[in-house]
Structure 1
Amino acid sequence: MKKILFLIHDLGQGGAEKVLVNLVNNMDHTKFDITVMTLFDHGENRQFLGDKIHYKTWCKKMIPGNSHIMKLLSPQQLHKLIIKAHYDIEVSYLEGPCARIISGCTDESVKLVSWIHIEQHTTKRAIASFRNQKEAVKCYKRFHKIVSVSKTVEMDFRKILNIDASYQVLYNTNESKKIRGLSEESITIDIDQENTVNIVGVGKLLKSKGFDRILRITKQLIAENYSVHTYILGEGPEKETLQNYIKANGLGKNVTFLGYQINPYKYISRCDLFVCASYAEGFSTATTEALILGVPVCTVEVSGMKEMLGENNEYGIVTENNDEALYEGIRCLVKSPELLRHYRKQAQKRGDMFSTEKTVAEVENMLLTL
């Protein structure tokens, strides 16, 4: 049995945190003895870890400016301080401090894996958790495998740091059967599925997620007499700003905030269109879940979307990453029930690509062949 450690910053409501829990819960526990370790004991997703997963944490509370404080110690010193047990495989499940810590393992018998979840775009961002670019390159060269969640994430990482390493793309794990089952639960709000096109956006309410774009587009559609209602699932620092925009523009009857939901699927499945308006993504978990539920998708072009939806919009609509293009894509679907029906069928087909069994088997094979 392989003894394996997954190190992540925390288990908050982000996509990487969620798919890590999905992955470890569904791995073969006769082959892998799995520990999930967080740097900080925080997050809604911890409660979903299965009974067979060992859980550890380094600090009970978040330390402000922790990535800067960690730079005072070398990767080797950090590894000795934080990773106390011996593992056959150590995985940094997020870029940044986790990668720096795992790279500090000095035991040559241990296999090291770095998981990259998002495009870095600039060298400055890619090396932000390291002392300098030289240290970042040296640390990443220590890994036996660098895994990316999409081809575009891998291409971006290679271009920025130009590291000669063993690379592999592995798509995120979603619990497809569970998602479909949870989608059938009843809801306590009234969603008009007869006379209204219901739009849904899901994610932490951050500027990078572009929920302000969705609100501006909702306003524009209403001004053009389209019957739409927008539902937003998530919490975050931008909530007050978004609510102020709704109030100032008289959108209270057309936008509903549903907050963070343990079961978002029962709401997503009852909507007509999933929209991703993000300025940056790795491989959007929420979009994958929408496809699993057979909900049509309209998204701006960010990492992984063309891999997910096809180069020519076979399984959903991918627009340029600006407000005007996204508006045109959404309007095209809102005004055409026939096109929405077409993309609902296509979403159902594409959702099968992300079956739990397939994505987990690919990760297990990678770990066993290191």
Structure 2
Amino acid sequence: MNLKSLKKVSKRKLAFFIKPIIDFFRVRDIRNRTLYAKYYEKYSVVDNYVLYESRDGQSMTDSPYAIFKYMLQNPKGKDYVHIWSLSNREYLKDMEEKYRQHTNVKFVLRNSRDYLKSLSKCKYLINNSTFQNIYTVKDEQVYINTWHGTPLKNMGYDMEGVLPTGPSNVVRNFLSTDYILSPNTFTTEIFNSAFKLENLYEGQILEDGYPRIDLTVNTTRDEVTATLKSENIDVGDKKIILYAPTWKGDTISKPRNDIEQIHDDISKVEAAVGGDYKVLVKVHPFLYKYAVNSPLLEGRLVSDTFETNELLAATDILITDYSSIFFDFLVTRRPILFYMWDYDDYKSNRGMYIETDHLPGPICKDVDSLIHSIEDIEGVQEEYKDNYQSFIDKFCYQEYGNVTETIINKVFNSAPANVSSNNKKEKILMYPGGLRNNGITGAAIGLLDNIDYSRYDVTLLVNYTNNQEILNNMLRVNPNVRFAFKIGRINQTIYENYCNYVTRNRGISSTFLERIFPWNMYKREYKRIVGKSKFDYIIDYSGYSMFWPNILLAGEAKKKMIFMHSDLYSDMNRKVNGKRPHFINLRGVFSLYKYFDELVSVSEATMEVNKERLKSYIGDTKISYVINSINPKKIKQLSQDDTELYYKDKQPVLVNARVNRQRRLEIENIPVPVEGEGYTNYINMGRLSPEKGQDQLIEAFAEVHKKYKHTRLYIVGEGPMRPVLERLIQTHQLEDSVFLTGHKSNPFYLMNKCDAFILSSHYEGQPLVLLESLTLGLHTIGTDIVANRYVLEDGKYGMLVENSVAGIAGGMLAVIEQDLPRPEFDAEKYNEAAMASFYEKLDK
């Protein structure tokens, strides 16, 4: 080894040792995750420790506070240590002073070391929203999610236009719980549907009501007014109007600042009815940071830490908009007014579960109508008494006043629920790959379109992302499927980091590497993502990643499978720009084969190739195959969908916008074949990668084009070979005849306009594009490789040509010069056989 190489190796080894340590001190998130992983393994769960958190630690409020308050005042709670997570140091100190006489009450600063220890040690965890994505449930822990209201506005996946990633941490938290509290059947049904809990959730939804509403029933007016006075709000003998609007805006992190409008509105209300009423404002926590720093609401703004349900006990009239606070207020039977000045806009952007015609009070769209309703409040009550009673009957029918006791008896005086769903569906957890634009993604989406969801419940394990390409493919996934997201970094100790690095790069290829492999780290990560969920089948559909199968193997199932989509030995050694991008990863994947129950290739031919070339890795593990499924109906529908079509000079074109090598936006207008124009049009689809052979395809087309000028070639896809292909096109002066279209979300419209499909690959697994071409009835040509021969059934459904420039050119010429029959391919019959082969893997 020369000096330069020695220095390079030394530098890499030094980085290996010091980077985890440097990251620990420099990056707070890494430090917290490292410490949490350490505490998780170090500390046992303490049976009488209870951790409370409300609204990300911003206050001691809501149902966690109601449970805490009851426990503290009741002999049943004396034997427990109550730990509150708070995010503000000053507020924490105030609470320590307030509860200093209670030796069994402690406070920890959120994200401190004591907080991370508490997450690891406390048997009971109570939260009204979500824990951060660092939290990983332990089997011995009992997690109670109290949630925070009966929903009026849409939530979870019911929200219009919500991305699959949107409710990810809520779903992750719910899957980790033993109990979710629900105030009524309506809310239970929304939990199951809006967060896709049905069939998967292993805990129990307790439909006994919200503990926080007990505070409204059991708190006196004098207690409320005394607390308000301590906040410099003097109510005197006046009745109380509480205005409690929800937050508005596009995102939680950036709520709209409506403080000036709130001030103007309540000033007009006070001017009209201030002689009899004191108007108070309780804004949503997301808006409070603006309100508290504004003098406009001074003397009227109730602090964010004031328990809302206790405040409701002294409220005479509630004014709200879309907040679920009014459901809690129903128990008082006092009047509710809905001030929805932006109703039309809000409903169109967010959506609501309940029609406004049925609300238990009038909708006021301007201040004048709001004032009029207050002045005629007795008439309003009379007019809406039937609606009001129907809401109580449907949403507030629990025996409030002692709901907290009922919940505590169920949660603290019995074993964790862990009640499996009665649904008879078998549950599949599947990693579909990175969901980039490639063949595996297409195959996965096709399979998910065809699964019988009356028999199977499917969860996709994926990485949380903001990448638009991946999000677009998530949106293509069948809506019956739920996503389970890996959010944030993995929790790992520094030692686990070292061990993971070594085994990731070398695979588990020896007894020593198996011994140091961080099994516990991956078991924790599995629990962090799917909580206490249980699955019947676990499938690594990708088969290319070293990371994801380790997570999948950490789960328990009656069968674990990993797919083999191609000649993987060739893929491992394939070079792109002089490097082997899959070598380390696939070598690691191969070393994991022995831990799976079955290795599944995507065709019989591919299975035989892998069985022979990877026999030293496969060992005694069962190897079999299924055939890829397609969606014939969808393919045919999309082939008629011209929504991506534009016209330039009255000619149909596809617009391809991309950033070129000079980082400039380049717009291409690609002509679309038109019937009767006299062109023979060829199309190829696939990743622009060496194994796809598109370079020799262009060389072959150049030969054909010399003889027949009215020919065109479309290559649909994107990848690292684009620069090479562009140079070839320029070399042969084919800029007006060969078109690199880039990736197309719907390639089937263009494909259907062409005469022949050509697959020029050097090797494949089971090429879906051939099946898609046959479904559309195109002349179908493939290089004579094992996978193409298998799909085309030795030429029954298309033409097999020599894997060379001359062979491909000969096939292209045959389309022009010979009267070739169109393939008679029964796509529906094929697909039935494909799905039967998949179900066979699950049933055996």
TM over 0.5: yes
Aligned residues: 352
1:148 to 601, 619, 629: 601
Moved more, 41-50 or 294-303: 41-50
Unaligned segments of structure 1, at least 5 residues? 62-66
2:504 to 71, 90, 106: 71
> Which amino acid is 2:429 matched to?
L
Q: Give distance in 1, aligned partners of 2:462 and 2:475.
A: 13
Pairwise CA distance, 1:160: 2.1
Q: Give distance in 1, aligned partners of 2:484 and 2:565.
A: 22
Structure of larger gyration radius: 2
> Which amino acid is 1:152 matched to?
A
> Which amino acid is 1:221 matched to?
V
Pairwise CA distance, 1:276: 0.7
- Asked whether the equivalents of residues 21 and 48 of structure 1 are also in contact (C-alpha less than 8 Å), the reply is yes
Pairwise CA distance, 1:155: 0.8
Q: Which residue does the alignment assign to 1:211?
A: 694
Q: Which residue does the alignment assign to 2:380?
A: none
Q: Which residue does the alignment assign to 1:64?
A: none
2:567 to 98, 103, 119: 119
> Partner of 1:91: helix, strand, or coil?
strand
Seen in structure 2, the aligned counterparts of structure 1 residues 209 and 130 have a Cα distance that, compared at 3 Å, is: closer
Q: Give distance in 2, aligned partners of 1:5 and 1:144.
A: 15
Pairwise CA distance, 1:75: 6.9
Q: Give distance in 2, aligned partners of 1:238 and 1:60.
A: 32
- Asked whether the equivalents of residues 174 and 289 of structure 1 are also in contact (C-alpha less than 8 Å), the reply is yes
- Asked whether the equivalents of residues 674 and 753 of structure 2 are also in contact (C-alpha less than 8 Å), the reply is no
Seen in structure 2, the aligned counterparts of structure 1 residues 83 and 110 have a Cα distance that, compared at 3 Å, is: farther
Q: Give distance in 2, aligned partners of 1:202 and 1:257.
A: 10
> Hey, which bits of structure 1, 4+ residues long, moved more than 4 A?
67-70, 122-127
Q: Which residue does the alignment assign to 1:314?
A: 796
Moved more, 3-12 or 247-256: 247-256
Seen in structure 2, the aligned counterparts of structure 1 residues 78 and 272 have a Cα distance that, compared at 3 Å, is: farther
Q: Give distance in 2, aligned partners of 1:223 and 1:285.
A: 31
Identity of aligned residues (%): 21
> Which amino acid is 1:298 matched to?
I
Paired residues for 1:1-370 under 5 Å: 1-39=425-463, 41=465, 43=470, 44-58=472-486, 71=504, 74=517, 76-77=519-520, 79-84=522-527, 85=530, 86-96=534-544, 97=546, 100-101=549-550, 104-105=553-554, 107=556, 109-121=557-569, 125=573, 128-129=584-585, 136=590, 139-162=592-615, 163-186=619-642, 187=645, 188-189=652-653, 190-194=672-676, 195-225=678-708, 227-311=710-794, 313-336=795-818, 338-339=819-820, 342=821, 344=822, 346=823, 348-349=824-825, 351-355=827-831, 357-367=832-842, 369-370=843-844
Pairwise CA distance, 1:166: 2.8
Which structure is richer in relative contact order (CA contacts within 8 A, separation 6 or more)? 1
- Asked whether the equivalents of residues 103 and 143 of structure 1 are also in contact (C-alpha less than 8 Å), the reply is no
Q: Give distance in 1, aligned partners of 2:518 and 2:783.
A: 38
Seen in structure 2, the aligned counterparts of structure 1 residues 142 and 193 have a Cα distance that, compared at 3 Å, is: same
- Asked whether the equivalents of residues 553 and 596 of structure 2 are also in contact (C-alpha less than 8 Å), the reply is no
- Asked whether the equivalents of residues 572 and 587 of structure 2 are also in contact (C-alpha less than 8 Å), the reply is no
Q: Which residue does the alignment assign to 2:93?
A: none
Pairwise CA distance, 1:78: 5.7
Q: Give distance in 2, aligned partners of 1:124 and 1:256.
A: 30
Unaligned segments of structure 2, at least 5 residues? 1-424, 490-499, 506-515, 574-581, 646-651, 654-671
Q: Give distance in 2, aligned partners of 1:102 and 1:322.
A: 42
Q: Give distance in 2, aligned partners of 1:106 and 1:124.
A: 27
CA RMSD in angstroms, aligned pairs only? 2.8
Pairwise CA distance, 1:241: 2.9
- Asked whether the equivalents of residues 716 and 740 of structure 2 are also in contact (C-alpha less than 8 Å), the reply is yes
Seen in structure 2, the aligned counterparts of structure 1 residues 147 and 130 have a Cα distance that, compared at 3 Å, is: closer
Q: Give distance in 2, aligned partners of 1:333 and 1:75.
A: 57
Q: Which residue does the alignment assign to 2:9?
A: none
